[in-house]
Amino acid sequence: MTAEQHEYVARQADEQGIIRYPADEHQIWSELITRQQQALPNRACPEYLEGLKKLNLPIQTIPQLKEIDDVLLSTTGWRTAAVPALISFKRFFELLANKSFPVATFIRRREDFDYIQEPDIFHEVAGHCVPIPFLVQL
């Protein structure tokens, strides 16, 4: 799947910088993060668990990127960058070079609950943003 061929569309922030997700999408986030947190004990490394604690991800709602940025900027100098699903390798590495981690601003549909080809906000935040505080120390 290339950046031109994707089935999800990123949500756009409003004039206050807030992304207004519908209730059913918050419910999917809640179920995903709850399942992940139940699976972590005795599986995740201490560094991941510490990053998760620092980010303090909400359980009931999809986090706003500003909430994640507040933690990442103060602890690492990194931030998130909202992107429209898949992006080119060039854009990906440009963002990383500027201490910005790309985050797609959509969440998977229920029919893709267990697996999604495109990285969604759950994948990006819970999978990649959580360990950033540890990774920047390497």
Binding residues for Fe cation: 123, 128
As a whole number of angstroms, the distance between CA 43 and CA 53 comes to 16
Residue 95 structure tokens: 């963002």
Q: Which residue has the tokens 């303090």?
A: 56
Could you say which DSSP state residue 125 is in?
A: I
Numbers of helices and strands, H then E, in the chain: 6, 2
As a whole number of angstroms, the distance between CA 73 and CA 76 comes to 5
- Indicate left, alpha or beta for 56 from its phi (over 0: left) and psi (-120 to 50: alpha): left
Q: Give the residue numbers of the binding site.
A: 123, 128
- Provide φ and ψ at 15, rounded to 5°: -65, -20
